[in-house]
Structure 1
Amino acid sequence: MNSAIAESRPAIPAAEERVGKYDWTALASDLDDYGCAVLEKLLTQEECRDLAALYPREEHFRSHIHMARHGFGRGEYRYFRYPLPDLLGGLRTALYPRLAPVANQWNKRMGIDTQYPDSHADFIKACHDAGQVRPTPLLLQYVPGDFNCLHQDLYGDLAFPLQVAILLSEPGEDFTGGEFVLTEQRPRMQSRAEVVPLRQGDAVAFAVHNRPVQGSKGNYRVNLRHGVSRVRSGKRHTVGIIFHDAR
């Protein structure tokens, strides 16, 4: 991989150790059952504050999006540029191989031929070979009245079917409202909503687009979207780890 876009390597061993402490069998089961799974206390309070403090520092970012201009809701976010901050790059690299087996199993159950490589470096190379070269990890900021419409983070033909969001602010202290929400559209049935309670430093892994559900006649696909409910007070920061890059 080009050294100019490679994720920072020193943080990877620490990130792998941190990520490896979770019960990934239980997390995979939650992903299968609900389309999401919570990794409690993935980041410390200090790490959360440090990441949130990057928001006004434009040198870390490649673009700045105001949601209202695009009909995405209200609020704003910035896409990081390469190289990613050590902590973020390390977590992106360490989380991917834990989620790839779930992604591969899902595709097999849904009859999708695509299988994902074991390492994130190999997957990113495939993205870049396909012309998807812009980094997608992002830092989001919400103030009172802001919200994020239900959406899917798809940026090109190659898309990894799981992503991770980490709450950097403390509910009830830094902000109120602003719950993370998933909706699941099921064929010939009413949609199902899932509100995911998070504390500062908690991460949620969740389906980007589709996931399989076992029915009486085999597996069928459900379509998922995610968003954030209206922030009532304070300021809310979240970092999003998307594993594919964008065109």
Structure 2
Amino acid sequence: MNAQLRTDAGVDARLRTYDWASLADELDAHGCAMLHDLLSPSECVELARMYADEAHFRSRVVMARHGFGRGEYRYFSYPLPELVSALRSAAYPQLAPIANRWNATMGLAVRYPATHAEFIDRCHAAGQRRPTPLLLQYGTGDYNCLHQDLYGEHVFPLQMAILLSEPGRDFQGGEFVLTEQRPRMQSRAEVVPLRQGCAVLFAVHQRPLQGTRGSYRVNLRHGVSRVRSGQRHTLGIIFHDAE
């Protein structure tokens, strides 16, 4: 079934089936949370196949040229593919209340509007007009260094990655890794066991953590460990646009 057509089933309806209170608790506790089976295998295959068609994209980045790791990725151009656009606009309203609560807890003045269209208008008014959803492609020996996806003044503090390939069948290795640096402590690593069609929500930059003397900010980075064999594709959904 074509990935574009399955949006008729309603990405928004799919996302509403998840327990968002529990997901918020996971994000508060660990900085990440999983959405199992968000996309079907056929949708994953259709999205991964888009990588070969330059018409969908505004740019291609070869990671080794920039010291980002090994592998490559392409940023989608506007208009986004229907399924990608639907995921972005439908997930945002579920995440905005969490983002606003996090900012309030961390003493940050920024608040996020109720809809993604309103937030994108804010980005575009500030000169952040380039779309940031992307497809990533890894082959044997490829990896993604720990990083943060910050593209300008306006940053939405949560993002989503969806694994389009099946571990153990399409590739070996290539685990999604999240690290968290707490003040005066060594970094904590989290390995997220994604399967094909599963999504991980995670903090882009900082999140609040409750300590014995109140809340404080912790810094997060994410990446992908070395792919030992095969090929791995991922869809990245970033909610702010780039300068």
What TM-score, normalized to structure 2?
A: 0.97
Contact 1:12 1:91 in 2 (8 A): no
2:48 aligned residue (47, 52, 55): 52
Q: Which residue of 1 aligns with 2:31?
A: 35
Change (3 A) 1:12 1:127: farther
Contact 1:11 1:89 in 2 (8 A): no
SS at match of 2:50: coil
Q: Determine the C-alpha separation between the residues in 1 that align with 2:29 and 2:119.
A: 26
Q: Determine the C-alpha separation between the residues in 1 that align with 2:13 and 2:202.
A: 21
Q: Residue 15 of structure 1: CA displacement?
A: 1.1
Unmatched runs of 5 consecutive residues or more in structure 1: 1-7
Count residues with an aligned counterpart.
239
Q: Which residue of 2 aligns with 1:152?
A: 148
SS at match of 2:154: coil
Q: Residue 100 of structure 1: CA displacement?
A: 0.5
Matched ranges for 1:1-247 at <5 A: 11=7, 14-247=10-243
Q: Determine the C-alpha separation between the residues in 1 that align with 2:9 and 2:139.
A: 35
Q: Determine the C-alpha separation between the residues in 2 that align with 1:165 and 1:203.
A: 5
Contact 1:12 1:90 in 2 (8 A): no
Give the aligned residue type for 1:43: L
Q: Residue 207 of structure 1: CA displacement?
A: 0.1
Q: Residue 93 of structure 1: CA displacement?
A: 0.2
Contact 1:171 1:200 in 2 (8 A): yes
Q: Determine the C-alpha separation between the residues in 1 that align with 2:201 and 2:8.
A: 19
The alignment yields a C-alpha RMSD, in angstroms, of 1.2
Q: Deviations over 1:77-110 (max 9, x none)?
A: 0000011111110010000000001100000000
Q: Determine the C-alpha separation between the residues in 2 that align with 1:59 and 1:83.
A: 11
Q: Residue 233 of structure 1: CA displacement?
A: 0.3
SS at match of 2:195: coil
Give the aligned residue type for 1:206: F
The list of structure 1 runs, each at least 4 consecutive aligned residues, that deviate by more than 3 angstroms after superposition, is 10-13
**What is the identity percentage for the equivalent residue pairs of Structure 1 and Structure 2?**
68
Change (3 A) 1:221 1:12: farther
Q: Residue 11 of structure 1: CA displacement?
A: 4.0
Q: Determine the C-alpha separation between the residues in 2 that align with 1:122 and 1:11.
A: 22
